[in-house]
Amino acid sequence: MKYLKIAMLASLILLLFIAFANAQELQSMTGAVVSKSLRHLIIRGQDGNEYTFRIGHNTVYNVGRLYGGDRVRIDYKKHKGVWVAYTVIALRPR
């Protein structure tokens, strides 16, 4: 029984270590909307380059619709090599 408790505690510590090691901070980008489709949002950044973000049903918006030219701030992180948008905030809502 004693060894079972020690094994369970060790496995819990190992799982917590793995979870914190894989956690990433969200990054932010500000730019203008170029286009939006069902699964992708293309933004022209302040440096003039276009960036594509994956969006889905978990992406949080503070506006109902996004139009071309709207200035937005996106909180994102890279997941399996793809930039995934978690929050899209319109800087000047219509």
The whole-number pLDDT of residue 19 equals 66
pLDDT, tens digit (0-9, with 9 covering 90-100), for 18-75: 766 656 688 899 999 999 988 999 999 999 999 999 998 888 888 878 888 899 999 9
The pTM of the full predicted model, rounded to 2 decimals, is 0.69
Averaged pLDDT, 72-86: 90
Query: Using an 8 Å Cβ cutoff, are 29 and 76 in contact?
Result: yes
Distance CA 48, CA 35 (A): 15
Task: Assign 31 to helix, strand or coil.
Answer: strand
Whether 81 has a pLDDT exceeding 90, the answer reads no
DSSP 26: P
**What is the pairing mode between strands 60-61 and 82-90?**
parallel
Residue 49's pLDDT is what?
Answer: 94
Structural domains of the chain ordered from first start = 27-90 (2.40.50.320)
CA distance 63 to 53: 17
What is the distance between the alpha carbons of residues 90 and 78, in angstroms, rounded to a whole number?
21
pLDDT of residue 32: 93
- Residue 94 predicted with pLDDT over 70: no
